[in-house]
Structure 1
Amino acid sequence: MRAFINGCRNVVGLDGCHLKGKYGGCLLSATALDGQNGLVPLGIMICKNECAENWFLFLKHLKPRLDEHPVQGINFISDRQKGLREAVHKLFPTSPHRFCFRHMYKNFKSHFKGSKLHTMFWNAAKAYKAKHFQAHMDSMMVENVKAFEYLMGENPKSWCRAFFDHNSSCEHLSNNFSESFNNMIAKIREKPLCKLVLMYGQLVMGLFYNRRNACVGWDSGDLVPSAKKLLKLMLKKLGEYKVAGAVADKVYEVTSIHSSVFTVDLNKKTCSCVQWQLRGFPCQHAVCALQQIRPNWIQYCAKYYSVDNYKITYAEGMIPLEGPDDWEEPRVIIVPPLLIRKQGRPRKNRRKAYDETLHEKKPRCCSKCKQPGHNKTTCGGGPIGSNSTKKRIRLEVDG
């Protein structure tokens, strides 16, 4: 939690996953994001099932530390399932709560078919301006009124970028970083509870240790590598934009090759495209304007993207958990829960959506003639004129 307070963005992803052990159960988790877009585990809770009471209890214990973040108003991202929405609203009534677009998109596709409607929904969600959002929703209303009413009933402030909090320095539409955490602990979820807790502590300590060592050689006063990489990509596209010069005190007009015009105010760190304000990092138009004055880039980025802030995030160590041999003898003997085995073979993989692409198995080919249907032992030779060897790519010119 100290890492979250010292250097993470005020965005918290909430998610729950099933335990795969003998007795089942559920693991609730809270994760944050650092300046490298790396996930930072804040805490977990093991419970029997995912419900409003358990989410309320979990968030109640996290609330005192979450409120210590220097930027007030924590932005939550979740799949809003099984009591999570009610628990967040009860404990954090003024905090913005984003709904995971991926889950909403999946539900929307199950109710409304057609790629045209799906594209309209995606365009409306990723719009940075309320004007553009309204234009896409108007098109949807003409196409399908029920689809329009369905989305408007889901509170657009929770799933459209045009209404997100600008203090979050995060433009994420989904809680993929929470899903990444679930994937990170996939093997841990199969262990007994005591072993699970010990392995979770080791995982978090290893994560902090590796990141602390990785940033030792980074230059202080500079941007983190992922930010520098993004900035380098945007600098390569300077030729696609025209900067009209400062029309006022550090206010520039930037025109794209598609004749779109954007206004960039370097003093206020704003752009009319709204992307700079939302993610706390210069957009493409701001980079074009800033290049005119050869700036110190870190002055125009949120503090989360600085190396100094990243080092502070992982500066403090963690106290390791004691092993089972050092635990106190329990005064109360806890009896294991009743084992209720479900019918059928236990599932290992999640259920696929109806339109989700499946990985097709590639046909096995002979290693000798590269033809399917047999192996090199029974190979009778490839078709006449075939050549099993690939042509080498020429790296030199003639002459």
Structure 2
Amino acid sequence: MSAHHPTLPAHEALRTSYSRQLRQGFADLRFDPPLEAAFREEFDRGLAPRLAWLALLITVSWLAFWAVDPLRMQPQALPAAQQGLWTELMAVRSTVAAVLLLATWRAWGRHLGGHLRHWVVVTALVVTLGGAWGATCYLRLGSFQPLEILLLLMAGLFLPIGLTLRQTLPLALACLVGMTLVGVLQTEGAAQGRFLYFSGLMLVAALVAAFGAYHREYAQREQFLLRAELAWQAGRDSLTGLCNRRLLEERLQALLAQAPHDRAPVALVLADVDHFKRYNDLYGAAAGDAALRTVAEVLQSMAGHPFDMVARLGGKSMAVLLHGLPLPEVQRLAARALNDLRTRAVPHDGSEHGWLGVSLGLAMAEPGDSPQSLHRRADHALYQAKLNGNNCAIAAP
């Protein structure tokens, strides 16, 4: 999640992109672009091994049919006029087997990469059209061919093979049209009528499978949003919408570990609302909550880098973690935040300034710093800011 998530008003604090998408709905099985990309990334996780096993299963099944063909047909006993059909059938079997073996080899070798969906589409087209062509060969040879296998091929297109329903539907339509054309062009008479009949059944099978695939993908998308929303809420402060202490500590630990490698400055800014107990006593707890949300929004404006983070540490204490900025720029952002809060002029009769103020302690990470040592220096600077009259920013030496 970006550090620029809005924090006001209170009921907006948990209105993340996930919850907004849940409210907006996704009947068309499509999220807003950033969420769609995140969903596809999770959807694809672990997909390659599953496709590898599926490709192996299909390949073994196809090779088994190929091995049984000579036993069923006894090609040496076929009339000379039908030898060409036998050769045609073997050519179809060989072509599809070659594509399947190549796809299986690439899937098991993890060589599909970013072309995974292209391989899925090509393999599905080759298998379905090859299956249809093989069926017409059997029909023309006068041998029994269970066309029901084509129904399984059509239904199989709607399995979770790496394509969304929006991608599967055009593929299924292409396969259906292709199989129908193969049947019409390669057969005649009763055989052609039988093939057309099964084309109708395949259309019905596609509609039924699409109905099931729609609800499966809808449930997957809904679960993705719910899991992400729960994970987001688990790391956030419910009052302000800021990150919590745990997330801040994890991010700070990661940035300090990375700092020697990327040589990017890391700054920690601790914030403490001035005379907050007096404010609560004067204006009540509800006004105190609103004041904390205002301070949170002001501090949030300091974050601009993807690795930046603003967190509520508890009570009236907050923190800003900044990445890649030198001390003068951190001081400039702190001064801007103080000025922003001064401009808002939230009344505070218990403050020496007459408005709600906040004290800031700044510390830049040094070589060898741990999260604890950096926090101690920022905390010492914050203490100096309090001694300096509050409502100011002091940088640690």
TM range (shorter): under 0.3
TM-score by length of 2: 0.19
Question: Which has the larger helix fraction?
Answer: 2
Question: Which has the larger strand fraction?
Answer: 1
TM-score by length of 1: 0.19
